[in-house]
Amino acid sequence: MLTPRLLAQVEQTRRSPRTSRSPRLLDLRFQLLAPDHIAVVTALGFAVALGLYAWVARRTADPFPRFRRIALWGLALSFVPNLGMMVNPMAAEMLGATVPGVLVLMLAHLPPAAAALAAARALARTGQYR
């Protein structure tokens, strides 16, 4: 159980600069891995994906294959800023980004993408958004 003392220690660790010389795998200061940030961006991305599917479905006789191509290209492009954070030293300074943290962030793109593709496939089977 999380006690107030433990929560205070976590918050203090999160806010204080690193003093140890051994690097952490996941820096607690990496703001893009905050649960509220991930939840908002995931919900927004999922809504945009379904809106894109609706748009494609109105313009194509068989929308799922085209949507899948667009979605997979979009997923690949979404990794570009993450890769930029791995090579940009200022990202580590400003965001607390570490290579393992960025890799976790990149892995976080996969479940929403799979869910959006599954939802689009289900909509394609039912014939909705026509």
Instruction: Give the pLDDT confidence of 68-77 residue by residue, as tens digits.
Output: 999 999 999 9
108-111, Cβ contacts within 8 angstroms, sequence gap of 24 or more: 108/33, 108/38, 108/42, 109/75, 109/78, 109/79, 110/75
| 21-68 per-position pLDDT tens digit | 445 555 556 666 677 778 888 899 899 999 999 999 999 888 999 999
Residue in the structure block whose two tokens are 């400003």:
94
Residue in the structure block whose two tokens are 């905050």:
34
Residue in the structure block whose two tokens are 């089977």:
125
State the pLDDT at residue 129. 63
Check residue 129 and give left, alpha or beta (phi > 0: left; psi -120 to 50: alpha).
left
- The structure tokens listed for 84 are 């930029």
Please answer whether residues 26 and 104 qualify as being in contact, where contact means their C-beta atoms are separated by less than 8 angstroms: yes
State the pLDDT at residue 22. 47
- Mean pLDDT along residues 91-102: 76
